[in-house]
A and B are shown apart, each in its own frame.
Chain A
């Protein structure tokens, strides 16, 4: 497996065909995704929309290699993800993917700095390097003065910024954000969106973002709508 992103010139970044996910087993199987085809190119900003329960999070988890599909193929930079074992998928997450959860998922009783530095430990950075990179990432999300704060001492918007800093500190190729502003007020939402747009435009990070917010979706260059586990529409902004 390739550790660093060296894409085949023509291969799209993300390419899925017939992706399906079933929950449960035996008589009560629920088909959350029923054959999704999607191609995302490098540097795109894709907003994923759709009603609640339509399968948006399920799709994001599969694309982010946090979950395994029931059927279908998934190529990331030309690599067949369904053929990777757990460790190889960990490596893919470690080196190429960043994930922002709707529910933050920060380590409790751990400072912002240590939370953001966490992914760097697994990439083998020295302690000093980890601290300086984590501090820089927190600064870039506007939390330079909250390095020592614990998650419990931060507002929801600030916690989400810490989570974004954690996702981008490793300089991922792709950022998956599942309703990053779902829990936030409009002021915080605007700040977070500005940040994500900035990451996409100025750092060239490919972004896939789930949102219910039309205004938020407007920042994206492409809008994919999902309904009942299938892609309903896929529009690029002219």
Chain B
């Protein structure tokens, strides 16, 4: 009897290719909508999270001037000194690493390639604070800093623009009026929503001061980078840093701060909340897709009810039992739903791998959502393929035959 039902079901599917195709298509579309949405959405969420992680969650940046970024008004405000950085490192217990940073825009040349780069002069702790990793060569060290050696470490973007395919480590490049040996290449970080982090060229602060800029003042540090110790209360840390800097910069109590503190933890928290919202939104969209897909499947199934009711009447009249007819319909519905669901999942995952590459988010396979989409669509397909059959099979054969 079971084998029979299977044979009849397959025969029915073959007999009604259009109906079978539409059923499979309905289920395919429902599954595809959900899987695409969730797979790409989760990929994007992961990308944002990875970028947050690459920023470092306990990084503080001090800059002179009242606002931050474009709104900074540093005109007439003195920069920091190396001593400011050193004092903070000594006096604030919550600080793990601190690095004074001087920056200057200079032309850089290697053979035929030239470009203007932002040149960073700093101390070796800078690499740790910003979580740089090496692709090749070495970081700058204390000896470089002490000697003011003409050595530098470059980021991926600088390497690409100045060296093309050539190996940079060991080569010399011209920076402004000095010649400088490249000793290290930084591993790429990628875009982090804050400009190209890989467009960087780093040399010892002492080298920057002695070889590249004519030093006119001790106030030549336009940024101090700080990493906090794990578990430090960031508000307390900011308060303490602010207090010490106000004293060192001789601000009266009635004067506003003439420097600002940028805390990546705040950014991370904001972005984290955004990501959470995005995940919620995706869940809602996926839910709507499920319902829409379900209604589509339902429609296709219900359109053929009249024809199928008559078919059931004929089968009953020639001696089929209700159970045999139902089994046939169940096998049919399950077969079509599974075909639609499986094609949906595999085609869509293939599509997602490609799309993820195009829109540059990582491909993330979520077994749970695939299973859910499959079970739901197949469930709707089976339920709506089966329910009308169940009603018809309960009728007297003559009533099923008379069905309009």
C-alpha spacing A101/B314, complex, angstroms: 10
- B322→A87 contact, CB < 8 A: yes
- A66→B317 contact, CB < 8 A: yes
Residue interface bits A103-139, CB-to-B below 8 A is 1, else 0: 0011111100010001101111001000000000000
- Decide yes or no whether B143 CB sits under 8 A from chain A: no
Contact pick for A94, options B11, B311, B319, B323, CB 8 Å? B319
- A121→B8 contact, CB < 8 A: yes
Smallest CB separation, A102 vs chain B (Å) = 11
- B320→A90 contact, CB < 8 A: yes
Chain A residue at minimum C-beta to C-beta distance from B310:
A105
**B interface SS class:** helix
How many contacts A-B (CB < 8 Å)? 69
B residues lining the A interface (CB < 8 Å): 4, 7-8, 11, 15-16, 307, 310-311, 313-324, 396-399, 401
Which residues from chain B contact A95 at a C-beta distance below 8 Å? Answer: 319
Chain B residue at minimum C-beta to C-beta distance from A103:
B401
Contact pick for B321, options A90, A99, A105, A123, CB 8 Å? A90
Given contacts A66-B398, A67-B396, A124-B4, contact A91 B319 (CB under 8 A): yes
- Decide yes or no whether A166 CB sits under 8 A from chain B: yes
Which residues from chain B contact A124 at a C-beta distance below 8 Å? Answer: 4
Interface centre among B4, B311, B396, B397 (most CB of A within 10 A): B397
- B317→A105 contact, CB < 8 A: yes
Given contacts A95-B319, A105-B401, A109-B16, contact A68 B396 (CB under 8 A): yes
Which residues from chain A contact B399 at a C-beta distance below 8 Å? Answer: 67
- A122→B320 contact, CB < 8 A: yes
Smallest CB separation, A144 vs chain B (Å) = 22
Chain A residue at minimum C-beta to C-beta distance from B3:
A124
Interface centre among B314, B322, B323 (most CB of A within 10 A): B314
C-alpha spacing A186/B322, complex, angstroms: 39
- Decide yes or no whether A233 CB sits under 8 A from chain B: no
C-alpha spacing A118/B317, complex, angstroms: 11
Which residues from chain A contact B15 at a C-beta distance below 8 Å? Answer: 107, 109-110
Smallest CB separation, B348 vs chain A (Å) = 32
Q: Which residues of chain A in 64-104 are interfacial with respect to chain B, using CB atoms and an 8 Å cutoff?
A: 66-68, 86-87, 90-91, 93-95, 97, 99, 101
C-alpha spacing A119/B8, complex, angstroms: 12
Can you name 16 extra interface pairs (CB under 8 A) apart from A66-B397, A119-B318? A66-B317, A66-B396, A67-B396, A67-B397, A68-B396, A86-B322, A87-B321, A99-B317, A105-B317, A106-B314, A108-B307, A114-B11, A118-B318, A119-B319, A121-B7, A170-B319
- Decide yes or no whether A149 CB sits under 8 A from chain B: no
